[in-house]
Structure 1
Amino acid sequence: MTSSLFSQPLRGIVPPMVTPLVDDELDKQGLDKLLRRLLESPVHGLFVLGTTGEGPSLSYRARRTLVDAVTSTVNGRKPVLVGVTDTSLSEAIDAARCAEAAGADAVVYAPPCYLPITQASLADGVRRLADQSPLPVMLYNMPALTKSWFEIDTVTKLIDEPNIVGLKDSSGDLEYFRRLLEVKTLRSSWTLMTGPEHLMAESVAMGGDGGVSGGANIYPRLFTELFDAADRGHEVSAATLQARLQVLGRLYAISPDRGISPIQGIKAALATLGICSAELCAPYRGLPACSLPVVAEVLRDLELLPPDGKTEAAALASTSTS
């Protein structure tokens, strides 16, 4: 049930980790490199099996292997949140129990994405998950992919549930986020974070608690510095950092594959930096090799790659991208 971690809002940057893969299996070497990169940075937590982590695409075996590996390596150094979204509520509950057994700190749940669902049924399912989950539950509003919203009235009805501790909003709708902030005033410990990176600083300035930002896999310090600047009201610094964030955002527009293009761009960048391969979970594909010079150009512009663009990553970056 609700841990002391959520006796107050979780604030800062919580990267939704990519899932390093080789031949559709977990790449443990790549995972170790990615975790080392994130644990050595000032991020405020880790989120596994989210959208950027391709959670819904992975086998249940791969999901549990990943959660076990991450929690073992993190070993309490940062909070670990685990995505348990599933079309089956019983599977989501089982996943929450497995996450608790592995040593995670919370679970994250979005509406089921196949059959349409009413707000009453959604609220009922969330309450059942919260009642049976041994870990605190954070809601995940991702209407572009789930085709359902956590409507404001539904969030208002759920905010008093003791084991529901917050919400991550990836709608990109700042008016909706503003209304969520009004609901947040009903519970001082409630966490409210945003997903869209370009809105993170603005949402923090409005009163939000931070961002679940995929680009933090690549450049974690950029996001933590932008969060700090926005949180302290340092508008000039925030504007400078926001401009760098826009450069990073070029990675998400390389691919025409709507929906997965940010994941493709992030994984290709990590491959170019020598962290892990660019492979996505089948049947999805990474960026084609012809796109990699554009990835390298973005990384050079961010000063994450030497001017000549040479890294140990040539083989990684071309894996599964042709």
Structure 2
Amino acid sequence: MFYGSIPAVITPFQDNEVDFYSYERILNYLINNGSNGIVPCGTTGESPTLSHDEHKKIIEETIRIADGRVPIIAGTGSNNTSEAIDYTTHAEKVGANAALVVTPYYNKPTQKGLFNHFEAIANSANIPIIIYNIPGRSVVDMTIDTMINLSKIKNIIGVKDATNDLFRPLLTKAKMDKNFCYLSGEDGTALAYLAQGGDGCISVTANVAPKLCSEMQKAWRDKDIKKTQIINLKLSKLHHALFIESSPGPVKYAASLLNLCKPDTRLPLVEIDEITKKIIKECLIELKLI
């Protein structure tokens, strides 16, 4: 079962090419500071702007660099079912521990379409699959009943829940027979999600504050509620700052202040505003990260 603080890792660019030298530095920083897993090629990794070859190479390099130190949950989703199957079977072949598959964006499938999409992907591979439900970006929201039906498929083992609906894990657990993995996709409500029965968080903030994020998750598992609350309060301003503008622009700028990589994104994402930069820098100084 996957748990704790799992960074949805950024993809560094230099001159509009993937910067694998900086990528290795980022991964070692995350792992050495207590992260409980890594998610490459997710939304935070700018997967929509990656070519097929880049996507697959990033997954391969993540597995090579991690070298078994933490589990790798490869982002393999697409709004094209055949493409998602290709990415998922590749991730399994090269040794990923699980695949994170987003609900199809833009095409707006029905609940039946969502079920058939995930069923086809699950039937194509034996790798554990985590559903990524993010209606704010994909425009479709997987219902609890659809998720429960999908959970009956052996290798569909969990959800990354970015609905920001804190009743969702409770309502799902009440109906679910299976031992399902519940991971928050919202840093700002990660602690509240734990309190509602969650197992951890696939995090944006953990790209730049991995130690604090992992310590908060560990404190919760250790039942040290006071410590959990203290760390959560410390992180709250940074959580907010990293979403003032479209992610991952803000977190890449924050990573650049830590000398992990350049702040570059690929179009259509652009450089963040100066006022946002100022707010992010102040947050990092306050947390003694720079």
The TM-score with structure 2 as length reference comes to: 0.95
Match of 2:194 in 1: 204
Segments of 4+ moved more than 6 angstroms: none
When residues 31 and 183 of structure 1 are mapped into structure 2, their CA distance, relative to the original with a 3 A threshold, is farther
When residues 44 and 183 of structure 1 are mapped into structure 2, their CA distance, relative to the original with a 3 A threshold, is farther
**Higher deviation after alignment, 281-290 or 198-207:** 281-290
Match of 2:216 in 1: 226
Matched, 1:18 2:7: no
Q: Post-superposition shift, 1:291? A: 4.3
Query: Residues 134-283 of structure 1 correspond to what in structure 2 (within 5 A)?
Result: 134-184=126-176, 186-188=177-179, 190-255=180-245, 260=246, 262-283=247-268
Q: Post-superposition shift, 1:241? A: 0.8
Assess if the C-alpha contact under 8 Å between 2:188 and 2:240 holds in 1: no
SS of residue in 2 equivalent to 1:108? strand
Distance 1:280 1:207 in 2: 35
Residues paired across the two proteins, number: 290
Q: Which residue identity does 1:187 align to in structure 2? A: K
Assess if the C-alpha contact under 8 Å between 2:169 and 2:196 holds in 1: no
When residues 142 and 92 of structure 1 are mapped into structure 2, their CA distance, relative to the original with a 3 A threshold, is same
- Please point out which of 91, 100, 103 is paired with 1:99: 91
Match of 2:269 in 1: 284
CA RMSD of aligned residues (A): 1.5
Q: After superposition, give the CA deviation of every residue in 1:93-143 in whole Å (9 maximum; x if it has no partner).
A: 111121122221111111211212110121011111100024211101100
When residues 194 and 183 of structure 1 are mapped into structure 2, their CA distance, relative to the original with a 3 A threshold, is farther
Match of 1:300 in 2: 285
When residues 149 and 88 of structure 1 are mapped into structure 2, their CA distance, relative to the original with a 3 A threshold, is same
SS of residue in 1 equivalent to 2:248? helix
Assess if the C-alpha contact under 8 Å between 1:202 and 1:230 holds in 2: no
Overall identity of the aligned pairs, in %: 27
Q: Which residue identity does 1:47 align to in structure 2? A: V
Assess if the C-alpha contact under 8 Å between 2:79 and 2:105 holds in 1: yes
Distance 1:194 1:12 in 2: 10
**Higher deviation after alignment, 61-70 or 166-175:** 61-70
When residues 152 and 131 of structure 1 are mapped into structure 2, their CA distance, relative to the original with a 3 A threshold, is same
Distance 1:292 1:159 in 2: 42
When residues 98 and 275 of structure 1 are mapped into structure 2, their CA distance, relative to the original with a 3 A threshold, is same
Q: Post-superposition shift, 1:254? A: 4.1
Query: Residues 37-186 of structure 1 correspond to what in structure 2 (within 5 A)?
Result: 37-184=29-176, 186=177
Q: Which residue identity does 1:201 align to in structure 2? A: L
Assess if the C-alpha contact under 8 Å between 2:249 and 2:271 holds in 1: yes
Distance 1:162 1:187 in 2: 10
SS of residue in 2 equivalent to 1:192? strand
Q: Post-superposition shift, 1:299? A: 0.8
Unaligned runs of 5+ in 1: 1-8, 306-322
Distance 1:46 1:26 in 2: 18
Q: Which residue identity does 2:92 align to in structure 1? A: E
SS of residue in 2 equivalent to 1:274? coil
Assess if the C-alpha contact under 8 Å between 2:5 and 2:214 holds in 1: yes
Distance 1:253 1:98 in 2: 32
Q: Which residue identity does 2:228 align to in structure 1? A: A
Q: Post-superposition shift, 1:30? A: 1.1
Distance 2:276 2:37 in 1: 31
Distance 2:160 2:13 in 1: 26
The TM-score with structure 1 as length reference comes to: 0.86
Distance 1:103 1:113 in 2: 27
